[in-house]
Amino acid sequence: MKALFPVFCRPLGYLVMAIALMLPLLMALLGKVTDANLLFYKECSKLLMMMGALMIIFALTPGENAKTVEVRNRAVRNAMYLTVLFIFIGMFWRVLKGDLQSVDTSSFLIFLILNVLCLEFGIKKSKVEELFKRKK
Protein backbone atom coordinates (compact mmCIF):
# COMPACT_ATOMS: atom_id res chain seq x y z
CA MET A 1 0.00 0.00 0.00
CA LYS A 2 1.31 3.40 -0.95
CA ALA A 3 1.73 6.29 1.45
CA LEU A 4 -0.92 8.99 1.24
CA PHE A 5 0.45 11.76 3.44
CA PRO A 6 3.68 13.80 3.34
CA VAL A 7 6.66 13.07 5.59
CA PHE A 8 5.76 15.67 8.24
CA CYS A 9 2.55 13.77 9.06
CA ARG A 10 4.56 11.06 10.82
CA PRO A 11 5.75 13.18 13.76
CA LEU A 12 2.44 15.06 13.66
CA GLY A 13 0.65 11.72 14.14
CA TYR A 14 2.74 11.00 17.23
CA LEU A 15 1.93 14.47 18.55
CA VAL A 16 -1.81 13.91 17.99
CA MET A 17 -1.58 10.57 19.82
CA ALA A 18 0.28 12.16 22.74
CA ILE A 19 -2.36 14.88 22.99
CA ALA A 20 -5.09 12.25 22.87
CA LEU A 21 -3.45 10.41 25.76
CA MET A 22 -2.89 13.51 27.88
CA LEU A 23 -6.13 15.38 27.17
CA PRO A 24 -8.46 13.26 29.36
CA LEU A 25 -6.00 13.40 32.26
CA LEU A 26 -5.60 17.15 31.91
CA MET A 27 -9.35 17.68 31.72
CA ALA A 28 -9.88 15.49 34.78
CA LEU A 29 -7.26 17.46 36.72
CA LEU A 30 -8.97 20.71 35.72
CA GLY A 31 -12.31 19.31 36.90
CA LYS A 32 -13.94 19.45 33.47
CA VAL A 33 -14.83 15.74 33.33
CA THR A 34 -18.18 14.87 34.85
CA ASP A 35 -20.45 11.85 34.66
CA ALA A 36 -22.44 13.63 31.96
CA ASN A 37 -19.50 14.18 29.59
CA LEU A 38 -17.21 11.25 30.41
CA LEU A 39 -18.33 9.28 27.37
CA PHE A 40 -17.73 12.32 25.16
CA TYR A 41 -14.12 12.72 26.34
CA LYS A 42 -13.51 8.99 26.05
CA GLU A 43 -14.76 8.79 22.48
CA CYS A 44 -12.97 11.99 21.45
CA SER A 45 -9.66 10.66 22.75
CA LYS A 46 -10.23 7.37 20.89
CA LEU A 47 -10.96 9.27 17.67
CA LEU A 48 -7.83 11.39 18.10
CA MET A 49 -5.74 8.27 18.66
CA MET A 50 -7.21 6.70 15.52
CA MET A 51 -6.43 9.82 13.50
CA GLY A 52 -2.87 9.91 14.82
CA ALA A 53 -2.30 6.23 14.08
CA LEU A 54 -3.64 6.60 10.55
CA MET A 55 -1.36 9.59 9.99
CA ILE A 56 1.63 7.51 11.09
CA ILE A 57 0.69 4.48 9.01
CA PHE A 58 -0.01 6.38 5.80
CA ALA A 59 2.78 8.96 6.00
CA LEU A 60 5.80 8.79 3.75
CA THR A 61 9.06 7.84 5.39
CA PRO A 62 12.29 9.62 4.52
CA GLY A 63 13.85 7.62 1.72
CA GLU A 64 10.64 5.78 0.84
CA ASN A 65 11.24 2.88 -1.52
CA ALA A 66 9.69 -0.43 -2.54
CA LYS A 67 11.06 -2.09 0.61
CA THR A 68 9.14 0.40 2.77
CA VAL A 69 5.92 -0.36 0.89
CA GLU A 70 6.54 -4.07 1.49
CA VAL A 71 7.17 -3.43 5.20
CA ARG A 72 3.94 -1.40 5.40
CA ASN A 73 2.00 -4.28 3.80
CA ARG A 74 3.53 -6.85 6.18
CA ALA A 75 2.75 -4.57 9.13
CA VAL A 76 -0.93 -4.48 8.16
CA ARG A 77 -1.00 -8.28 7.83
CA ASN A 78 0.74 -8.84 11.16
CA ALA A 79 -1.49 -6.29 12.89
CA MET A 80 -4.58 -8.11 11.62
CA TYR A 81 -3.34 -11.40 13.07
CA LEU A 82 -2.39 -9.83 16.39
CA THR A 83 -5.69 -7.95 16.64
CA VAL A 84 -7.73 -11.09 16.05
CA LEU A 85 -5.62 -12.90 18.65
CA PHE A 86 -6.05 -10.03 21.15
CA ILE A 87 -9.82 -9.85 20.61
CA PHE A 88 -10.17 -13.64 20.85
CA ILE A 89 -8.26 -13.72 24.13
CA GLY A 90 -10.44 -10.87 25.46
CA MET A 91 -13.63 -12.66 24.46
CA PHE A 92 -12.38 -15.91 25.96
CA TRP A 93 -11.53 -14.12 29.21
CA ARG A 94 -15.00 -12.55 29.40
CA VAL A 95 -16.60 -15.98 28.81
CA LEU A 96 -14.47 -17.52 31.56
CA LYS A 97 -15.46 -14.75 33.97
CA GLY A 98 -19.11 -14.95 32.93
CA ASP A 99 -19.11 -11.22 32.24
CA LEU A 100 -22.27 -10.27 30.38
CA GLN A 101 -21.95 -6.51 30.79
CA SER A 102 -18.66 -5.45 29.23
CA VAL A 103 -18.13 -5.29 25.49
CA ASP A 104 -14.93 -4.46 23.63
CA THR A 105 -15.58 -1.43 21.42
CA SER A 106 -12.03 -0.39 20.67
CA SER A 107 -10.93 -3.17 18.34
CA PHE A 108 -10.22 -0.81 15.42
CA LEU A 109 -8.06 1.36 17.67
CA ILE A 110 -6.22 -1.75 18.87
CA PHE A 111 -5.66 -2.75 15.23
CA LEU A 112 -4.26 0.68 14.39
CA ILE A 113 -1.92 0.76 17.40
CA LEU A 114 -0.65 -2.75 16.63
CA ASN A 115 -0.23 -1.69 13.00
CA VAL A 116 1.89 1.30 14.04
CA LEU A 117 4.02 -0.92 16.27
CA CYS A 118 4.51 -3.49 13.50
CA LEU A 119 5.30 -0.75 11.00
CA GLU A 120 7.88 0.93 13.22
CA PHE A 121 9.50 -2.39 14.06
CA GLY A 122 9.58 -3.40 10.40
CA ILE A 123 11.10 -0.11 9.26
CA LYS A 124 13.80 -0.21 11.94
CA LYS A 125 14.49 -3.87 11.18
CA SER A 126 14.89 -3.20 7.45
CA LYS A 127 17.25 -0.29 8.17
CA VAL A 128 19.41 -2.47 10.41
CA GLU A 129 19.44 -5.27 7.81
CA GLU A 130 20.44 -2.77 5.13
CA LEU A 131 23.21 -1.44 7.36
CA PHE A 132 24.66 -4.92 7.88
CA LYS A 133 24.37 -5.77 4.18
CA ARG A 134 26.52 -2.73 3.34
CA LYS A 135 29.27 -3.78 5.73
CA LYS A 136 29.66 -7.24 4.20
Written as tens digits, the pLDDT of the chain (136 aa) is 777 889 899 999 999 999 999 988 999 899 998 888 888 888 889 999 999 999 998 888 887 888 888 888 889 888 988 988 988 888 888 889 888 777 767 788 889 999 999 999 998 998 888 888 876 6
Q: Report if residue 3 sits inside a domain.
A: no
Note the pLDDT tens digit of each residue in 61-89.
Answer: 887 888 888 888 889 888 988 988 988 88
**Residue 14 falls inside a structural domain:** yes
- Rounded Cα gap, residues 8 and 35, in angstroms: 37
Residue 91 lies in a domain: yes
- The answer as to whether 2 is a domain residue is no
Is 1 part of any domain? no
Overall pTM surpassing 0.85 (yes/no): no
Asked if residue 4 belongs to a domain, the reply is: no
HSE-CB for 104 with a 13 A CA cutoff = 18
Q: What CA–CA distance (Å, rounded) separates 38 from 15? A: 23
Residue 56: inside a domain = yes
Centre a 10 Å sphere on the Cβ of residue 92 and count the other Cβ atoms it contains: 10
Total domains in the chain come to: 1
HSE-up (13 A, CA, CB side) for residue 48: 18
Alpha-carbon distances of 128 from 10, 61, 63, 77, 122, rounded to whole Å? 20, 15, 14, 21, 10
Task: Please state, in angstroms and rounded to a whole number, the distance separating the CA atoms of residues 21 and 13.
Answer: 12
Which domain range does residue 52 map to?
A: 9-135
Return the DSSP state at 61: P
23 burial level (CB within 10 Å; 0-12, 13-18, 19+)? middle
Are 3 and 60 in contact, with CB atoms under 8 Å apart? Answer: yes
Distance of CA 114 to the CA centre of its chain: 5
